[in-house]
Amino acid sequence: MGEKHGSARPSGSLLRRTAATVTATAALAVAALLTAIPAASAAAADQDAVRRVSGEADGTQLATASRGASLSADGRYVAYGVKGPRDGCPLSVSTCLFVKDLRTGRQTQVPGTKRLAGNPVLSADGRLVAFFTGDGDVRPYLYDRTTGDLTLLWPGPPPSPFDFGYDGVVNAISADGRQVLYTVTYSHPGEPTRTRLLERDLATGTDTVVVPEGTADFVSGGGLSADGRYVAYGLVRESAGYQGLFVKDLRTGAVRRVDTARDGTPGDADSSLVRLSDDGRRVVFNSRSANLTPESPAGDQWHPYVRDLRTGRIEAFGSAGRTVSAADGTARHVVLQEPDALVLRDLRTGRQRAIAPQTAEATLGAVTRHGREVVFASSELDLVPDDTNGVSDVFLVHS
């Protein structure tokens, strides 16, 4: 498998999270659900509803922790990190990346992950895996599971091992598998931070600059519509702090701020992107702003929101101080970190249900299309029978 070098441009990345709760009735229902099922956890109530998906190739449980799971849109493939030491990750600080076919049980190890620095990103069909890793400076990579090609995403000639201060992250893969969104940042003592956000066309190998150098010191998060036309991202300047959450139309060049009140007033605090819908219309995000809706909390508290860019409508959901950690491609089904449980919520109907203990962790790519499956990591020992390894495992729950 050959390592290739791309031709793109840079930008930096941050990620924050936020949360949400529900109505008093729903909260009581969650609590009742968790207390009604003795130590065996809500998910364990139905042995067909939850299963452990991380493990060795022969099906035995892992000896080291696994976490950071992402699902393909159809729920067939899951990617997750496993802590070393093990083959390919010889140190205890190393993390190996695996992709598992949940239909056949076959799993493969992604090459070159070294010290995995973030959660993996899977294409909708599970063929492409994007990740960022490194022993010091972080580099963004794309792995094609069909061809075996491992590609370093970089604008022009890649930096040498002696070029310190260069970092890159992968933000998203378009649902059609043609575009990849990534950022590259150069930060060196005594010099201004230089960052760019780029979209690479995998068919042509060309890069489009989404956020040019000089626009911001950091780009926080990133999302792509299914066809790669719309890009979502946040901007931060070290001298002025948070600048806003935006969606850019790459066809027309139009840029629109997302975290504003209905009348266009900008949010008065920072926001973090969770998901841009596949059609580029809806944005799920968290914000500490107190002026986005009448429900926005005061006192510098995070709160989850969804914005419809076509109608301009912005809605708060859940409760103050909680976070939304994932959403599906329709931006309708979201995962909330509630006080008593990890909750899957349908934003259209308001229905929700507890899917995992409160201590469980779901990452940005944790929900399949239409919210049918969710993956999460947990170190609880009672989610499945005979869990005796005492470390975090990755589980899948059917909704």
- What is the pLDDT, as a whole number, of residue 129? 96
Do 344 and 35 contact (CB within 8 A), yes or no? no
Do 271 and 287 contact (CB within 8 A), yes or no? yes
Do 129 and 109 contact (CB within 8 A), yes or no? no
Q: Token pair of 264, please? A: 């266009």
- What is the pLDDT, as a whole number, of residue 21? 32
What is the DSSP-derived secondary structure letter of residue 44? G
- What is the pLDDT, as a whole number, of residue 18? 31
DSSP string, 254-314: -EEE-SB-TTSPBPSS-EEEEEE-TTS-EEEEEE--SSSSTTPPSSS--EEEEEETTT--E
What is the share, in percent, of the chain residues with pLDDT greater than 90? 68
Give the separation between CA 347 and CA 355, rounded to whole angstroms. Answer: 16
CA torsion angle 383 388 389 392 (round to 10): 20
- What is the pLDDT, as a whole number, of residue 88? 81
Q: Token pair of 224, please? A: 């792509």
Give the separation between CA 50 and CA 85, rounded to whole angstroms. Answer: 28
Burial class (CB in 10 A: 0-12, 13-18, 19+), 256: middle
Query: In terms of Cα–Cα distance, which of 184, 188, 206, 187 is closest to 196?
Result: 184
DSSP string, 169-203: EEEEE-TTSSEEEEEEEE--TTS--EEEEEEEETT
Low-confidence ranges of the chain (pLDDT < 70): 1-48
User: Cis (ω within 30 of 0) for the bond into 85?
Assistant: yes
Report pLDDT digits (tens) over 7-18. Answer: 333 333 333 333
Give the separation between CA 185 and CA 43, rounded to whole angstroms. Answer: 41
Do 181 and 224 contact (CB within 8 A), yes or no? yes
- What is the pLDDT, as a whole number, of residue 158? 80
Q: Token pair of 58, please? A: 């022969």
Q: Token pair of 232, please? A: 């979502």
- What is the pLDDT, as a whole number, of residue 164? 75
> pTM of the full predicted structure?
0.85
- What is the pLDDT, as a whole number, of residue 7? 36
Map tokens 């999270």 to a residue.
17
Per-residue CA distances from 184 to 4, 187, 209, 228, 333 (Å): 17, 10, 11, 19, 31
Give the separation between CA 27 and CA 46, rounded to whole angstroms. Answer: 21
DSSP string, 89-108: B-STT-EEEEEEETTT--EE
- What is the pLDDT, as a whole number, of residue 22? 30
Using DSSP bridges, classify how beta strands 107-110 and 121-122 pair: parallel, antiparallel or unpaired. Answer: unpaired
Give the separation between CA 395 and CA 102, rounded to whole angstroms. Answer: 12
Q: Determine which helix (DSSP H) or strand (DSSP E) holds 339, and give its type and residue range.
A: none
- What is the pLDDT, as a whole number, of residue 115? 82
Give the separation between CA 309 and CA 311, rounded to whole angstroms. Answer: 6
Rg (CA), the chain: 20
